[in-house]
Amino acid sequence: MADDVNDAIDEETAESSEALIAVHWREEEYYDPPAKLTAQANASSPAIREEFTEDKFPDSFTAYADLLTWYKRWDTVLDTSNAPFWKWFTGGELNASYNCVDRHMETHPNKAALIWIPEPESEAHQAITYRELYVRVNEFAAVLKDLGLKAGDRITFHMPMVPELPVAMLAAARLGVIHSQVFAGFSGTAAGHRIADSGSRVLVTMDGYYRSGDLLDHKVKADEAVEAAAKEGQEVDKVLVFRRYPGQYSAETPMVEGRDVFVDDLLAAHKGEIVEPVPLAATDPLFLMYTSGTTGRPKGCQHSIGGYLSYVAGTSKYYQDIHPDDTYWCMADIGWITGHSYIVYGPLALGTTSVIYEGTPNYPDAGRPWRIAQQLGVNIFHTSPTAIRMLRKVGPDEPAKYDYHFKTMTTVGEPIEPEVWRWYYETVGKREAAITDTWWQTETGGFLGSTLPGVDKMKPGSCGPAALGILPVILDEDANEVPAGSGKAGNICIRNPWPGVFQTIWGQPERFVSTYYAKYNKDPESKDWHDWPYFAGDGALEAADGYFRILGRVDDVINVAGHRLGTKELESAALTVNEVAEAAAVPVVDDIRGRVVEMYVSLKPGYEATPEVENKVKRAIETDIGKIARPKNIWIVPDMPKTRSGKIMRRVIAATSNFTDTGDITTLANPEVVEKIRQQVQSSKVAKGEVPRELSETELHEIRSFGSE
Ligand code: WTA
């Protein structure tokens, strides 16, 4: 027994030092910010950093809070009395819906708040002015109020990319109802788990929406969601169904009598009604956003009204460089944090015009985004490396055919390869636009690392320096600081709280502390923020110039197309298949989506590896999580490579799937199985033409250290 424990400890230490593998990190050249951009930028001089230095913290962030309209000003900027549950702007009162709608309706009612582009090009776009937004938000708030919903209640949305989604969010925010929007591409079951976890009794959905030319039946997922939630003891009383074409039902799935209601019918009964925004405490929750972590259960990240809204308004101003007359398009999904912060709350808090696109970027062809940009005069563009890689692959010459001019372009969610960065800069941006590569997370509410577009030189592959007021540090496993320019990687942490940081994990405060703050805290009783570095869960490297290169997750999370999928979630889905004894998910480098998932399973005695079992595993993952998580390959193997303490060595199978060196396998309990698996997997991949290109330093680092936490 004692020996086993020692073995396990030895293995763990060997592995964590391996996470700091020395790699030679090539430095990229710098690009200057465009002079024309600098001349008009909200942040036009490096002097702005002086206003956010450590000695000015936390008061420096009142500059962000001052972008909002408060019913009552705060008494305390940062309250640390219940560390690490930071409270920002305590004593202050405000309403997010008022800040994003009413106050702009008063000053510029006829300006477009949202422009919605339906996927079919035959359908005209819809511009929704601030006045119209005001009317629609009020009417929907009246519907919610009529259902008895009030401040502090939760409501789940499972909505596609339609203007009804921001309307619903802002209506909930008006009442203080905490919204939880689940990405429409997630399965009904996944939505059901989130309904149950948040304790929502109302689900808002839509009958259908367009993706790649098809009008999908989305309502069917609501039935699955309600059923899954009920299994976990959460009853849903009402399902509100928006109709893609009001008055006409676009789904096949029947409406359930007494439970399901068409929203257009309800709205008719509340026409022109006004619901005054409720003044709420700055520290009250605005929404939950679920994300994956190391365990099977997704975490509901709880964001505050005052701190969050201040932070997204401030970062939208300085990092997106949003001015009142800009037309801003973030081609992401509102179902993720990017859409919450930088399609809805940040841009609307600043009173700009935010574009929403329903469909896939390359539908009907790879020129679509650039046609939209030309037609609407979009001048700020924002998307993910996955979308950029895809558009570059299918339409490398398309941008040149359209007459649009971007001043800034953002990328978010994954590392961007320098070659892809250069295509974005030269071809999409026509060398006129600054690129901001923004590093942040669902938990962090807004950007943590990025260049200031009008100020800083850009360096492909690095997100840039810390965002204003953010104090990062890279620590090794023993909490020693890894100095800038040392060429060594470590765990990136943020030393100080900031207003956008999430408040807790809904219903799991211990998990909040243990996952994000316990690792480097030496005194759990401390009320001093200096004692509570935020552990981001990303490996990173700081260059001598203070720019950060993000290397990816250090936990068991796979970033597919910029979306986090927990290996445990994938594995538990696979384990619901009766034949499966063990399952392990690993990342495989993919030229478009960054990473895709491959699943290794071993079967219970007496079962044979058949295509049918493979299909069952695939279906289980699609049902539990959604199509986004569908593995590229499922390998049914005779046994998993394991340590002597029985832990599956994910880095060994990850290396196999990626054709890289498996490293030292002599400490395994069953080293002989490694070669068997290698032959099985790699010969089959060679036959399918799936041999990857040579991996970059960042990719190699991730594969070699995968699963070492
Ligand atoms: C990764 C998305 C490199 C990182 C806003 C992080 C990035 C996770 C970048 C959060 C970037 C995000 N460069 N990696 N610019 N931005 N990541 O919660 O691993 O969906 O921890 O939030 O994505 O993903 P999430």
pLDDT digits (tens, 9 = 90+) for 577-599: 999 999 999 999 999 999 999 99
Q: How confident is the model at residue 24 (pLDDT cuts 50, 70, 90)?
A: low
Q: Cis peptide leading into 58, omega within 30 of 0?
A: yes
Percent of the chain with pLDDT over 90: 90
Phi and psi of 261, rounded to 5°? -135, 145
Q: How confident is the model at residue 264 (pLDDT cuts 50, 70, 90)?
A: very high
The CA-based angle 194-565-314, given to 5 degrees, is: 75
> Which pLDDT belongs to residue 401?
98
Lowest mean per-residue pLDDT among 436-445, 536-545, 699-708: 699-708
pLDDT of 667 reads 86
Please report the pLDDT score of residue 309 as a whole number. Answer: 99
Distance CA 516, CA 84 (A): 9
Is the pLDDT score of 296 beyond 90? Answer: no
Which H helix or E strand runs over 187? Answer: none
Residue 568 CA, ligand 1 centroid: distance in Å: 19
Residue 709's pLDDT band, with cuts at 50, 70 and 90, is low
The answer to which of 7-21, 167-181, 320-334, 450-464 has the lowest mean pLDDT is 7-21
Closest CA to 438 of 417, 464, 472, 470: 464
Distance from Cα 38 to the centre of ligand 1, integer Å: 27
CA of 440 to the centre of ligand 1 (A): 5
Give the mean pLDDT of 307-332: 97
What is the C-alpha separation between 557 and 567, in angstroms, rounded?
Answer: 6
Q: What are phi and psi of 571, to 5 degrees?
A: -70, -40
- C-alpha to C-alpha distance for 428 and 164, rounded to whole angstroms: 30
DSSP 3-state of 513:
helix
With CA atoms as reference, report the closest residue to 52 among 450, 470, 453: 470
Mean pLDDT of 355-362: 97
* pLDDT at residue number 651: 92
User: Does 21 have pLDDT greater than 90?
Assistant: no
What are the pLDDT digits (tens) for 362-386? Answer: 999 999 999 999 999 999 999 999 9
Q: What does the block give as tokens for 699?
A: 């990719």
pLDDT digits (tens, 9 = 90+) for 176-189: 999 999 999 999 99
Residue 625: count of CB within 10 angstroms of its CB: 24
* Residue to substitute in 438, 535, 538 for testing ligand 1 pocket (most ligand atoms within 8 angstroms of CB): 538
SS (H, E, C) 128-153: EEHHHHHHHHHHHHHHHHHCCCCCCC
Q: Is a pLDDT exceeding 50 seen at residue 438? A: yes
Residue recorded with tokens 């599956």: 648
Give the angle 115-117-119 at the CA atoms, nearest 5°: 165
* Token couple for 450: 């990025």
Token pair for 110: 């006829």
Is residue 355 pLDDT above 50, yes or no? yes
Going by alpha carbons, the residue nearest to atom 14 of ligand 1 is 414
Of 293 and 553, which is predicted with more confidence?
A: 553
> What are the residues facing 376 on neighbouring strands?
none
What would the pLDDT profile of 77-87 be if each residue is shown by its tens digit? 999 999 999 99
Among 469, 467, 468, which residue's Cα sits nearest to residue 448? 467
Instruction: Specify the ligand 1 atom closest to the Cα of 438.
Output: 15
DSSP 8-state secondary structure symbol assigned to residue 52: G
Q: What sign has the CA pseudo-torsion 248, 251, 252, 258? A: negative
Q: Which residues pair with 93 in a beta bridge?
A: 72, 281
Residue pLDDT, tens place only, 394-403: 999 999 999 9
Among 624, 485, 502, 509, residue whose Cα is nearest residue 568: 624
- From ligand 1's centre to the CA of 638, what distance in Å? 35
Question: What are the pLDDT digits (tens) for 610-667?
Answer: 999 999 999 999 999 999 999 999 999 999 999 988 889 999 999 999 999 998 898 8
Pocket of ligand 1 (CB under 6 A): 291, 336-338, 412-415, 437-442, 463, 537-538, 550, 552-553, 559, 563-564
Q: Is the pLDDT of residue 12 over 60?
A: no
When comparing pLDDT for 694 and 301, which is higher? 301
Name 533's Cβ contacts closer than 8 Å, sequence gap at least 6: 473, 475, 493, 494, 495, 517, 520, 521
- Beta-carbon count within 10 A of 529 CB: 18
Specify the pTM.
0.94
Model confidence pLDDT, tens digit, residues 549-572: 999 898 889 999 989 999 999 999
In the chain, % of residues over pLDDT 70: 96
Q: Best of 439, 492, 698 to mutate for ligand 1, by most ligand atoms within 8 A of CB?
A: 439
Ligand 1 centroid from CA 441, angstroms: 5
Contact, 451 vs 434, CB < 8 A? yes
CA of 342 to the centre of ligand 1 (A): 14
Encoded tokens for 484: 């800038």
For residue 239, give Cα distances in angstroms to 171, 180, 201, 260.
16, 14, 9, 5
